[in-house]
Amino acid sequence: DIHMTQSPSSLSASVGDRVTITCRASQDIINALAWYQQVPGKAPKLLVYAASNLQSGVPSRFSGSGSGTDFTLTISNLQPEDFATYYCQEYYSVPPSYIFGQGTKLDIK
Amino acid sequence: QVQLQESGPGLVKPSETLSLTCTVSGDPISSNSHYWGWIRQPPGRGLEWIASMYYSGSTYYSPSLKSRVTISGDKSKNQFFLTLNSVTAADRAVYYCVRIRSYVDVWGKGTTVTVSS
Protein backbone atom coordinates (compact mmCIF):
# COMPACT_ATOMS: atom_id res chain seq x y z
CA ASP A 1 0.00 0.00 0.00
CA ILE A 2 1.11 3.54 -0.73
CA HIS A 3 1.69 5.78 2.24
CA MET A 4 1.66 9.58 1.99
CA THR A 5 3.61 11.72 4.45
CA GLN A 6 3.19 15.47 4.66
CA SER A 7 5.52 17.89 6.38
CA PRO A 8 5.30 19.90 8.39
CA SER A 9 2.14 18.91 10.26
CA SER A 10 1.60 22.54 11.11
CA LEU A 11 3.20 25.87 10.43
CA SER A 12 2.67 29.50 11.23
CA ALA A 13 3.14 32.29 8.76
CA SER A 14 2.18 35.89 8.15
CA VAL A 15 0.15 37.55 5.43
CA GLY A 16 2.46 38.15 2.49
CA ASP A 17 4.79 35.24 3.30
CA ARG A 18 5.72 32.39 1.00
CA VAL A 19 5.28 28.88 2.36
CA THR A 20 6.05 25.41 1.09
CA ILE A 21 4.38 22.16 2.11
CA THR A 22 5.94 18.84 1.23
CA CYS A 23 4.31 15.50 0.46
CA ARG A 24 6.29 12.30 0.10
CA ALA A 25 4.92 9.06 -1.32
CA SER A 26 6.22 5.69 -0.17
CA GLN A 27 6.64 4.61 -3.79
CA ASP A 28 6.82 6.19 -7.23
CA ILE A 29 3.43 7.66 -8.16
CA ILE A 30 4.66 9.45 -11.29
CA ASN A 31 2.61 12.67 -11.09
CA ALA A 32 -0.68 11.22 -9.80
CA LEU A 33 -0.97 13.68 -6.96
CA ALA A 34 -3.55 16.27 -5.97
CA TRP A 35 -3.60 19.01 -3.36
CA TYR A 36 -6.69 20.18 -1.47
CA GLN A 37 -7.45 23.10 0.83
CA GLN A 38 -9.91 22.75 3.70
CA VAL A 39 -11.22 25.68 5.66
CA PRO A 40 -12.70 24.71 9.06
CA GLY A 41 -16.30 23.57 8.78
CA LYS A 42 -16.16 23.33 5.00
CA ALA A 43 -15.54 20.61 2.45
CA PRO A 44 -12.09 20.34 0.93
CA LYS A 45 -11.44 22.17 -2.31
CA LEU A 46 -9.24 20.96 -5.16
CA LEU A 47 -6.24 23.22 -5.76
CA VAL A 48 -3.80 21.22 -7.90
CA TYR A 49 -3.99 17.98 -9.87
CA ALA A 50 -1.38 15.98 -11.75
CA ALA A 51 1.16 17.43 -9.33
CA SER A 52 1.43 20.81 -11.02
CA ASN A 53 -1.82 21.66 -12.80
CA LEU A 54 -3.79 24.44 -11.18
CA GLN A 55 -7.52 23.79 -10.98
CA SER A 56 -9.64 26.36 -12.76
CA GLY A 57 -10.39 29.35 -10.57
CA VAL A 58 -7.54 28.77 -8.13
CA PRO A 59 -5.35 31.85 -7.64
CA SER A 60 -1.97 31.78 -9.32
CA ARG A 61 -0.19 32.29 -5.97
CA PHE A 62 -0.70 28.55 -5.52
CA SER A 63 1.68 26.23 -7.35
CA GLY A 64 2.55 22.57 -7.24
CA SER A 65 5.64 20.72 -8.31
CA GLY A 66 7.37 17.37 -8.11
CA SER A 67 7.22 13.90 -9.55
CA GLY A 68 8.01 10.38 -8.50
CA THR A 69 7.90 10.40 -4.70
CA ASP A 70 8.48 14.03 -3.69
CA PHE A 71 6.01 16.84 -4.18
CA THR A 72 5.55 20.39 -2.96
CA LEU A 73 2.75 22.90 -2.71
CA THR A 74 3.91 26.51 -2.59
CA ILE A 75 1.77 29.46 -1.65
CA SER A 76 3.22 32.85 -2.45
CA ASN A 77 2.05 36.12 -0.97
CA LEU A 78 -0.18 34.50 1.64
CA GLN A 79 -3.63 35.98 1.94
CA PRO A 80 -5.92 35.81 5.00
CA GLU A 81 -8.20 33.29 3.26
CA ASP A 82 -5.26 30.90 2.74
CA PHE A 83 -5.02 29.96 6.41
CA ALA A 84 -6.47 26.48 6.32
CA THR A 85 -5.47 22.82 6.33
CA TYR A 86 -3.88 21.36 3.21
CA TYR A 87 -3.95 17.72 2.13
CA CYS A 88 -2.14 15.83 -0.58
CA GLN A 89 -3.67 12.73 -2.14
CA GLU A 90 -2.33 10.05 -4.47
CA TYR A 91 -4.46 8.56 -7.22
CA TYR A 92 -1.88 6.24 -8.74
CA SER A 93 -2.98 2.99 -7.11
CA VAL A 94 -4.84 0.34 -9.06
CA PRO A 95 -7.33 -0.63 -7.76
CA PRO A 96 -7.77 2.85 -6.37
CA SER A 97 -7.07 3.64 -2.73
CA TYR A 98 -6.98 7.45 -2.85
CA ILE A 99 -4.62 7.74 0.10
CA PHE A 100 -4.44 11.19 1.71
CA GLY A 101 -1.59 12.73 3.59
CA GLN A 102 -2.28 13.53 7.24
CA GLY A 103 -2.71 17.22 6.52
CA THR A 104 -0.76 20.42 7.17
CA LYS A 105 -2.44 23.13 9.22
CA LEU A 106 -1.39 26.62 8.22
CA ASP A 107 -2.22 29.30 10.74
CA ILE A 108 -1.50 32.94 11.26
CA LYS A 109 1.66 33.86 13.13
CA GLN B 1 -22.48 23.66 -12.45
CA VAL B 2 -22.22 20.26 -10.82
CA GLN B 3 -23.55 20.02 -7.28
CA LEU B 4 -23.65 17.14 -4.84
CA GLN B 5 -25.84 17.01 -1.75
CA GLU B 6 -25.66 14.40 0.97
CA SER B 7 -28.69 13.35 2.98
CA GLY B 8 -29.38 10.81 5.66
CA PRO B 9 -29.86 10.36 9.39
CA GLY B 10 -27.55 12.37 11.59
CA LEU B 11 -27.77 9.81 14.37
CA VAL B 12 -27.31 6.05 14.13
CA LYS B 13 -27.33 3.52 16.94
CA PRO B 14 -24.32 1.26 17.48
CA SER B 15 -24.48 -2.01 15.53
CA GLU B 16 -27.10 -0.59 13.17
CA THR B 17 -26.78 0.34 9.49
CA LEU B 18 -25.92 3.79 8.20
CA SER B 19 -27.53 4.71 4.89
CA LEU B 20 -26.63 7.90 3.06
CA THR B 21 -27.84 9.35 -0.23
CA CYS B 22 -26.02 11.71 -2.57
CA THR B 23 -28.18 13.66 -4.98
CA VAL B 24 -26.28 14.91 -8.01
CA SER B 25 -27.29 17.83 -10.20
CA GLY B 26 -25.59 19.03 -13.35
CA ASP B 27 -23.97 15.73 -14.37
CA PRO B 28 -25.60 12.35 -14.98
CA ILE B 29 -24.06 9.63 -12.87
CA SER B 30 -24.70 7.19 -15.71
CA SER B 31 -22.43 9.02 -18.15
CA ASN B 32 -19.35 7.06 -17.09
CA SER B 33 -17.28 10.19 -17.46
CA HIS B 34 -16.40 10.08 -13.78
CA TYR B 35 -16.38 7.88 -10.76
CA TRP B 36 -18.63 8.75 -7.85
CA GLY B 37 -17.62 8.11 -4.28
CA TRP B 38 -17.68 8.69 -0.56
CA ILE B 39 -14.99 10.11 1.72
CA ARG B 40 -15.28 10.65 5.45
CA GLN B 41 -13.53 12.75 8.08
CA PRO B 42 -13.69 11.89 11.79
CA PRO B 43 -13.79 14.90 14.12
CA GLY B 44 -10.46 16.69 14.19
CA ARG B 45 -8.85 14.16 11.89
CA GLY B 46 -7.90 13.65 8.25
CA LEU B 47 -9.68 12.38 5.17
CA GLU B 48 -10.44 8.73 4.50
CA TRP B 49 -11.68 7.36 1.19
CA ILE B 50 -14.50 4.83 1.67
CA ALA B 51 -15.75 3.68 -1.72
CA SER B 52 -16.20 4.67 -5.34
CA MET B 53 -18.10 3.45 -8.38
CA TYR B 54 -18.62 3.76 -12.08
CA TYR B 55 -22.36 3.60 -12.69
CA SER B 56 -21.79 0.89 -15.29
CA GLY B 57 -20.79 -1.47 -12.56
CA SER B 58 -17.26 -1.12 -11.29
CA THR B 59 -17.07 -0.60 -7.56
CA TYR B 60 -14.06 -0.13 -5.32
CA TYR B 61 -13.85 -0.22 -1.55
CA SER B 62 -11.35 0.73 1.12
CA PRO B 63 -9.79 -2.53 2.33
CA SER B 64 -10.40 -1.50 5.95
CA LEU B 65 -14.14 -1.01 5.36
CA LYS B 66 -14.83 -3.44 2.53
CA SER B 67 -16.62 -6.01 4.67
CA ARG B 68 -19.19 -3.45 5.87
CA VAL B 69 -19.69 -1.09 2.93
CA THR B 70 -21.81 -1.03 -0.21
CA ILE B 71 -21.97 1.73 -2.82
CA SER B 72 -24.70 1.79 -5.45
CA GLY B 73 -26.59 4.18 -7.69
CA ASP B 74 -29.99 4.99 -9.22
CA LYS B 75 -29.72 6.77 -12.56
CA SER B 76 -33.45 7.50 -12.66
CA LYS B 77 -33.03 9.75 -9.64
CA ASN B 78 -29.40 10.69 -10.39
CA GLN B 79 -28.46 9.56 -6.92
CA PHE B 80 -25.89 7.26 -5.43
CA PHE B 81 -25.84 5.67 -2.03
CA LEU B 82 -23.62 4.47 0.79
CA THR B 83 -24.53 1.68 3.17
CA LEU B 84 -22.30 0.98 6.17
CA ASN B 85 -23.21 -1.94 8.39
CA SER B 86 -22.54 -2.60 12.06
CA VAL B 87 -21.52 0.95 12.90
CA THR B 88 -19.49 1.79 15.98
CA ALA B 89 -18.32 5.01 17.60
CA ALA B 90 -15.34 4.91 15.24
CA ASP B 91 -17.69 5.59 12.34
CA ARG B 92 -18.61 8.99 13.70
CA ALA B 93 -17.55 11.46 11.03
CA VAL B 94 -18.52 13.97 8.42
CA TYR B 95 -19.37 12.02 5.27
CA TYR B 96 -18.75 13.64 1.89
CA CYS B 97 -20.04 12.45 -1.44
CA VAL B 98 -17.68 13.30 -4.27
CA ARG B 99 -17.12 13.23 -7.99
CA ILE B 100 -13.85 11.62 -8.97
CA ARG B 101 -11.87 12.06 -12.16
CA SER B 102 -8.85 10.30 -10.71
CA TYR B 103 -8.61 13.20 -8.27
CA VAL B 104 -11.71 14.57 -6.50
CA ASP B 105 -12.90 17.61 -8.37
CA VAL B 106 -16.33 18.14 -6.80
CA TRP B 107 -17.30 17.71 -3.14
CA GLY B 108 -20.64 17.80 -1.43
CA LYS B 109 -20.95 19.97 1.66
CA GLY B 110 -20.85 16.93 3.91
CA THR B 111 -23.22 15.43 6.42
CA THR B 112 -22.37 14.75 10.06
CA VAL B 113 -23.07 11.28 11.38
CA THR B 114 -23.05 10.53 15.10
CA VAL B 115 -23.15 7.00 16.48
CA SER B 116 -24.88 6.78 19.83
CA SER B 117 -27.58 4.84 21.61
A1, A73, A98: best to mutate for the B interface, most B CBs within 10 A: A98
Instruction: Profile chain A (109 residues) by mean pLDDT over runs of 10 residues.
Output: 96 97 97 97 98 98 98 97 97 90 95
CA nearest to A68, candidates A97, A99, A96, A33? A33
Q: Which residues neighbour A41 within 8 Å (Cβ) at sequence distance 6 or greater?
A: none
Q: What is the pLDDT of residues A49-62, one digit of tens each?
A: 999 999 999 999 99
Q: Is A44 in Cβ contact with B47 (below 8 Å)?
A: yes
pLDDT at B59 over 80: yes
pLDDT at B32 over 80: no
Among A18-32, B44-58, B71-85, B89-103, the range scoring the smallest mean pLDDT is B44-58
Count contacts between A and B (CB, < 8 Å): 54
Q: What is the pLDDT of residues A7-24, one digit of tens each?
A: 999 999 999 999 999 999
Name the minimum distance, in Å, from the CA of A44 to any CA of chain B. Answer: 7
Q: Which residues neighbour A20 within 8 Å (Cβ) at sequence distance 6 or greater?
A: A72, A73, A74, A75
Find chain A residues with C-beta within 8 A of B39's C-beta: 98
